[in-house]
Amino acid sequence: MSNVPVDTALEVTAAAAPIAAGPGGTARRRFVFVRNGKSVTGLVILGVFAVLAVIGPWIAPYDPSKVGVGTLLAPPSARHLLGTDHIGRDVFSQLLVGTRGVMVVGVLAAVVATLLAIAVGVTAGFLGGAGDEVLSAVSNVFLVIPALPLIILVAAAVRSTSNLTIALVLAATGWAWGARLLRAQTLSLRRRDFVEAARASGERTWRVVWFETLPNLTAIIASSFISTMTFAVLSQTTLAFIGVANVNDWSWGTVLYWAQGNQALARGAWWWFVPAGLLIAILGMALSLVNFGIDEFVNPRLRLAGLKPREMRQRGIRPRIGFTATVRDLPRRPEATR
């Protein structure tokens, strides 16, 4: 017999159990990661950027493209919070207006890529046979297509490369990784007892996929969305910085493009490029924090290893150097010692 109490083991492994196994309490566990400090911090920062993306052009103190609103290369002041550029444009207004372009490309590319990944990955996992082979081959083809060179070719063929074009190309080249992950997990889920029970009860395939399989893929889908959004934001910023995107559409990369092209670093105009770089870093950090929170939600060992010392003491766990909490580290209940 195992030394691990049954009820204690169930506490540790409950989060890893299929959601369909318990429609009451387990359904609430889908959003347990929201109580994680990393997730909350990341979501708050993302919420601030989302609000700025909506209201940024309305609250910007100046037209970001208007020349001569201030002294050339003026440092930050009460009138211009982040100074001006080489032709007197307000940098703070450029960053506020540019937030919308960054967030639109990131969210749109992530949404389209995630939908494609779900459609291809889950379908391939459920079909099996020739259908699975065909969809897997398509995924493998898109896995090796580089996004940045493709966008450069599109920019050379299209007169004006808009944010919408960039988002669609990034989505078309960024869905394959998520599809592979979802296919692998679907292959594992389709033979589970609760899925077989649903089929035996006469449920249609679309209901089995929608109500039995997709709820158990929520964490993987969310992680794929966050990863794709991070990739899209960095790619959009890179393309704007090297001048591939339309330089008349303001974004953080566009600000860096003008700063680099006019030697802001050599002129000592730190206010022209440092704030844009910080915004990119903060957004990337927020997305990473949300992804870390999702990882801890999916992996019970990470969740236990992330317990605070007070919580460990309350549970009777004594942490040590190199400690990783396991089932055997949890205290036994009196009724389980019989």
Complete DSSP assignment for 63-109: -TT-TTSS-TTPPP-SSSTT-B-TTS-BHHHHHHHHHHHHHHHHHHH
How much is the CA Rg of the chain, to the nearest whole Å?
A: 25
How does pLDDT run across 101-147, given as a tens digit for each residue? 999 999 999 999 999 999 998 888 887 778 888 888 898 888 888 87
**Mean of the pLDDT values across residues 47-65?**
93
The span from the CA of 266 to the CA of 268, in Å, is: 5
Nearest to 84 by CA among 98, 68, 95, 73: 73
Number of neighbours of residue 297 by Cβ within 10 angstroms: 24
Hey, what amino acid is at 167? A
Task: Decide if pLDDT at 50 tops 60.
Answer: yes
Note the pLDDT of residue 15: 39
Q: What is the pTM of this model?
A: 0.76
Cβ atoms of residues 68 and 88 within 8 Å: yes
How does pLDDT run across 275-326, given as a tens digit for each residue? 999 999 999 999 999 888 877 776 655 555 555 555 555 666 555 544 445 5
**Mean of the pLDDT values across residues 51-79?**
91
Write out the CATH class of domain 6-336.
mainly alpha
Residue 297 tokens, joined: 């939600």
For residue 90, name the pLDDT band (cuts at 50, 70, 90): very high
Calculated CA dihedral for residues 34, 38, 39, 43, nearest 10 degrees: 130
